[in-house]
């Protein structure tokens, strides 16, 4: 799965990971606000952020241009 950032001034420009590294996957649909995918991605050794392999919580919002 690949997510890209449309704001070129943000520090994090893209985030990619294979599906098998995701766990606790959920779809959140708040009454006020954008739908978003919530889950945990298993970090890779020497990946971003630069630390030992572990769990990295992740939230990705979809505001336009896609269906969830």
| Tens digits of residue pLDDT in 19-49 | 888 888 888 888 887 777 778 877 776 665 5
In the numeric block, which tokens belong to residue 4? Answer: 């890209």
Looking at the DSSP bridge assignments, the partners of residue 41 are 22, 56
Q: What is the structure's pLDDT at 68?
A: 53
Amino acid 57: pLDDT: 56
The pLDDT value given to residue 3? 76
Q: Which sign, positive or negative, has the C-alpha torsion 30, 57, 19, 8? A: positive
The pTM is what?
0.52
Q: What percent of the chain has pLDDT over 90?
A: 0
One-letter-per-residue 3-state SS of the chain: CEEECCCCCCCCCEEECCHHHEEEEEEECCCCCCCEEEEEEECCCCCCCCCCCCEEEEEEECCCCCCC
């Amino acid at each position: 799965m690949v997510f890209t950032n449309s704001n070129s001034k943000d520090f994090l420009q893209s985030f990619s990971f294979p599906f098998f590294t995701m766990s606790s996957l959920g779809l959140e649909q708040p009454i006020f606000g954008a739908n978003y995918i919530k889950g945990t991605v298993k970090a890779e050794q020497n990946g971003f952020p630069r630390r030992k392999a572990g769990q990295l919580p992740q939230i990705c919002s979809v505001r336009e241009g896609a269906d969830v």
